[in-house]
Amino acid sequence: MPLSREYPHLLFRRHWELNKRCLIMLGQCVSYVKAISNTPIMPAYYKELMRISLIKGAQATTAIEGNTLTEEDIERINEGEKLPPSKEYLEIEVKNIITAFNAILQETVYDQKEELITSELILRLHKMVGKDLGEHFAAIPGRFRENEVNVGKYRCPDHRDVPELIQRYCQWMREEFRFEDGKQQFSDVIEQAIVAHLYLEWIHPFGDGNGRTGRLIECYVLSRGGNPDIALHILSNHYNQTRSEYYRQIDKAYQSRDLSAFIEYALVGLRDGLQQTLEKIQESQLVNTWQKYVYDTFEDVTITQRNIFKRRRRLALEMPIDRKFQAREIAGLSIKLAQLYAGVSSRTLYRDLEELIHLQLLNQEGNEYFANISALSSFIARRKGLVATK
């Protein structure tokens, strides 16, 4: 079907080039995803990472559009609390995004349903975005717009061209990225997700909710392509944290008819976010390894009085591994330690600390103590150090 006018920026072809930096970052993203996917996570910490991902993702993608709710507000909403009536529509916006995120996870991760990018999928996600928002949503949820829209200086395509542009968009997604052929590498998935998001912004098929729908499509492509569920919030979070740059890069891509700079900008945020996620998992692994080391150490301790044995072991387990502390802070480290040391003398506490130093589980500097996690160095794979050349 012929279009009513031409759109030089909607080329539906590969109008971007990946420079050396982009190729390196794509490789890093793939490596981080493999490391995250192959690292076991304890159930309690996995649940916490999923909670963080859901809350950060919902806060970020709605904040970009002007929603003022904080992560703390969204956490309360996610736990079933109601916000004041004055914030009801903001609460509904966030709930809609959480519902959409959960639907994407259910379909792509848990049910293993793989859907191509179609107009039906786009309309379905948009319907979730606008559900129950009434006059606070300037569009009919799940319907393409039937009016002309300008976003700042950007003149959106004629509403009569939207169905045809969406049809070309979906066809291009299939032909360019060949997901249905089963030959996509994860680097291809990342490219498709970013490009799919940006093109939907430009087509602007709805009167409202285009940004949220575009970022949901981006999330859908990443999840369908194998991005870990605990890392699906990363790009939305990056766009929100660098909001002015996000809009600048969108406009720059439009003016230049070149997506290269926007892709590079998005890759920086994705790479950094994946790295941070992996580091958080590694920190939890360090805690797990330390606790296993404590248990193993106490297996060789002769038990004379079981209550003393258990108290000292609990103290070793509850010690923070990332900071120093003083003896007077012991009771504040956890409720369990507060209970154990409530009825004993300071002399008993210092004897326990001395015993943990003797077992090489604890070190002391002045009046401060810290976990001897350097003892775990024997569990780390060795490699030859790099030697500086002259």
Q: What is the DSSP string of 68-89?
A: ---HHHHHHHHTT----GGGHH
111 confidence band (pLDDT: 50, 70, 90): very high
Q: Does residue 160 share a domain with residue 76? A: yes
* Across 347-354, average pLDDT: 94
Residue 248 CA, chain-centre distance (Å), reads 23
Other Cβ atoms less than 10 A from the Cβ of 172: the count is 19
**What is the pTM (predicted TM-score) of this model?**
0.87
Residue 387 scores a pLDDT above 70: no
Residue 45 CA, chain-centre distance (Å), reads 14
Residue finishing a domain among 215, 248, 282: 282
Q: Is residue 52 part of a domain?
A: yes
Q: What is the DSSP string of 111-171?
A: S-------HHHHHHHHHHHHTT-GGGSSS-TTS---S--EETTEEPPPGGGHHHHHHHHHH
Residue finishing a domain among 282, 315, 337: 282
Residue 382 scores a pLDDT above 70: no
Residue finishing a domain among 282, 312, 333: 282
Q: What is the pLDDT of residue 388?
A: 46
Q: What is the pLDDT of residue 385?
A: 54
Q: Does residue 249 share a domain with residue 156? A: yes
386 confidence band (pLDDT: 50, 70, 90): very low
Q: Taking a C-beta distance cutoff of 8 angstroms, is the pair 61, 42 a contact? A: no
* Across 304-316, average pLDDT: 93
Domain of 354, CATH number, reads 1.10.10.10
Domain count, the chain: 2
Q: Please write the tens of the pLDDT for every residue from 212-257.
A: 999 999 999 999 999 999 999 999 999 999 999 999 999 999 999 9
Mean model confidence pLDDT for the chain: 93
DSSP 257: T
Q: Is residue 247 part of a domain?
A: yes
Q: What is the pLDDT of residue 282?
A: 92
Orientation of helix 88-105 relative to helix 71-78, angle to 10°: 70
Residue 339 scores a pLDDT above 80: yes
Q: What is the pLDDT of residue 383?
A: 63
Q: Which residues contact 159 (CB under 8 A, 6 or more apart)?
A: 144, 145, 146, 147, 148, 149
Q: Taking a C-beta distance cutoff of 8 angstroms, is the pair 217, 39 a contact? A: no
* Across 248-271, average pLDDT: 97
**Tokens matching residue 68:** 């003022």
Q: What is the pLDDT of residue 183?
A: 79
CA distance 125 to 147: 20
Q: Does residue 89 share a domain with residue 216? A: yes
Q: Is residue 384 part of a domain?
A: no
DSSP 384: P
Residue 104: exposed, middle, or buried by beta-carbon count in 10 A (0-12, 13-18, 19+)? buried
Q: Does residue 312 share a domain with residue 263? A: no
Residue 53 scores a pLDDT above 50: yes
Q: Please write the tens of the pLDDT for every residue from 124-160.
A: 999 999 999 999 999 999 999 999 999 988 999 999 9
Q: Does residue 306 share a domain with residue 271? A: no
CA distance 386 to 86: 60
Domain of 245, CATH number, reads 1.10.3290.10
**Residue 231 is part of which domain span?**
20-282
Q: What is the pLDDT of residue 347?
A: 93
181 confidence band (pLDDT: 50, 70, 90): confident
